[in-house]
Amino acid sequence: MRPHRWVIPFLVGGLLAATAMPAQAAEPAPDPAPEPVTATTTTAEGVVYVYAQDMLEALWIDDENTSTYSRSSFNYWIDADRDGCDTRAEVLLAESMGATSGGCPVKTGSWYSYYDGASWTLASDVDINHMVPPAEAWDSGAWAWSAAQREAFANDLAWPASLVAITDDLSASKGEKDPAEWMPPSADATCRYVSEWVSVKYRWNLTMDWDEYDALADELYGDCADSVIVLPAIANVPEPLIAIHAYIKAVYHDLFHRSPDSTGLATWTTKLQTGTPYGEVANGITYSDEYRSRLIQASYRRYLGRSADASGQAFWLDKMRNGWHIEQMQSGFIASDEFYARGGGTDAGWVRLLYRTVLGRSAGSSEVAYWVGEINGGRTRQSVALGFLYSTEHLTDVVDGYYVDLLGRHIDPTGRTFWVTQIQQGARDEQIIAGIVSSDEYRWLAYMAV
């Protein structure tokens, strides 16, 4: 795990403060996978404050992309709201500490460049600096974005840290450098700078390389350890490629027991990079012939004690493609003469085997007598089997098995009630499994496995 510092937050006189526990010793090689951000304080207005070091730990570490960056890939200084003021002018207007003149373009005002502590009154002496330079953003994930997403990044007025008015010479000095290569000349700017850098990377799902992480960690676990910043909203961009690949590999491992082939990896990566929801991708995987074939094979082994033959596999796969639920298929197995023979060829034996295979327990004598009476009264074996397969007792065990296999824990009461009810009301098991593997909990487990 990466070095982590536990904090106990509280509010004093309306100002955010915190009492810190002793920091743990930093490990030499932190994990590349991120950790969840934990709120230190949430205001009455819903604004969430977090420690900047915690936000740092929520970023992925990966090598930078080496494809060629072009400034033309980002459409700068648009007039998004069509009020006659482009992005540069909007930042100048927002950051001026006094009245401005000239309308748009802005000519004069009162600006403080926190990078170097200088003040300016002429707009021509001020540059609007991208906290994370577009070239750095490109190398950290923006290469995979759409043109519209890169334009949104280049003109991000929704997050104040993204664009900053600074002394014009500093823009050229900073250039495309990250904090491992450049820091503001004013020592007083360091903590704000590294905190805002991390916040922009977090907002835009951008990765960092090891040198960048080390430079940021040196400050955020050192003199800037108490830096607190508002948790920004995540922009409408895909997760980093390393995160997407970690997720797809985890799903293939857990559902198919194999690594993804190049075609599958490329297909699902493209879908997630272009905005397809994780739930839809998970459904595509669990509804595949390959995964359904695994479900069929598992049902054959559980209820008939053997592997599926080729014709049986093809028959039930076609049924599932055409809307049959796994419980319907399993009821066919249980109602079959083959299953009946495994129970000794008697109604009582069949009922006892039904209890053992579906509910995982022995049937009491009164239970056996009841169901034998139902069968003698004309109820079909398939009807009885369906009742067992859709029972809360059985489905709780089924869904609990999915939780153990995919989340590494037993089902909680809320999850049990929700998923069991979903199946009883007509949801397919494939949907339930897709719901689990598209959950935030599963995705974090996938990321932690990197």
- Interval 176-218: pLDDT, tens: 999 999 999 999 999 999 999 999 999 999 999 999 999 999 9
Q: Is residue 356 part of a domain?
A: yes
CA angle 177, 179, 181 (to 5 degrees): 55
**Contact partners, residue 18, CB within 8 Å, separation at least 6:** 7, 8, 9, 10, 40, 51, 226, 228
Q: Is residue 77 part of a domain?
A: yes
Tell whether 247 and 383 lie within a shared domain. Answer: yes
Q: 273 is written with which tokens?
A: 């990079």
CA 7, CA 21: separation in Å to the nearest integer? 6
Q: How many domains does the chain have?
A: 2
Tell whether 76 and 179 lie within a shared domain. Answer: yes
Residue listed under structure tokens 């070239």: 135
CB 336 within 8 A of CB 300: no
Give the residue, 30 or 152, on which the prediction is more confident: 152
Tell whether 182 and 313 lie within a shared domain. Answer: no
pLDDT for 31 beyond 90: no
pLDDT for 22 beyond 70: no
Task: Indicate which CATH number applies to the domain containing 308.
Answer: 1.10.3130.20
Mean pLDDT of 393-409: 96
Tell whether 181 and 252 lie within a shared domain. Answer: no
Tell whether 161 and 247 lie within a shared domain. Answer: no
**Contact partners, residue 63, CB within 8 Å, separation at least 6:** 209
The pLDDT-based confidence of 32 (bands split at 50, 70, 90) is: low
73-88: pLDDT as tens digits: 999 999 999 999 999 9
pLDDT for 222 beyond 80: yes
Q: Is residue 397 part of a domain?
A: no
The separation between CA 230 and the C-alpha centre of its own chain, rounded to angstroms, equals 20
CB 33 within 8 A of CB 60: yes
CA 150, CA 221: separation in Å to the nearest integer? 32
pLDDT above 90 covers what percent of the chain? 88
Query: In the chain, what is the straight-line distance between the N-terminal and C-terminal CA atoms, in Å?
Result: 12
Tell whether 266 and 125 lie within a shared domain. Answer: no
Tell whether 260 and 183 lie within a shared domain. Answer: no
Q: Is residue 340 part of a domain?
A: yes
Tell whether 255 and 366 lie within a shared domain. Answer: yes
Tell whether 298 and 363 lie within a shared domain. Answer: yes
Q: Is residue 404 part of a domain?
A: no
Residue 26 vs residues 22, 195, 402: alpha-carbon distances, Å: 12, 19, 36
CB 397 within 8 A of CB 366: no
CB 150 within 8 A of CB 236: no
Please say which residue of 392, 417, 443 terminates a domain.
392
Q: Is residue 147 part of a domain?
A: yes
Q: Is residue 402 part of a domain?
A: no
Give the residue, 241 or 448, on which the prediction is more confident: 241
Please say which residue of 353, 371, 392 terminates a domain.
392
pLDDT value for 130: 98
Q: Is residue 11 part of a domain?
A: no
Tell whether 183 and 273 lie within a shared domain. Answer: no
pLDDT value for 45: 84
Tell whether 262 and 334 lie within a shared domain. Answer: yes
Please say which residue of 189, 211, 226 terminates a domain.
189
pLDDT for 9 beyond 50: no
Tell whether 255 and 377 lie within a shared domain. Answer: yes
CA angle 77, 230, 63 (to 5 degrees): 70
Residue 334's domain comprises 243-392
pLDDT for 361 beyond 70: yes
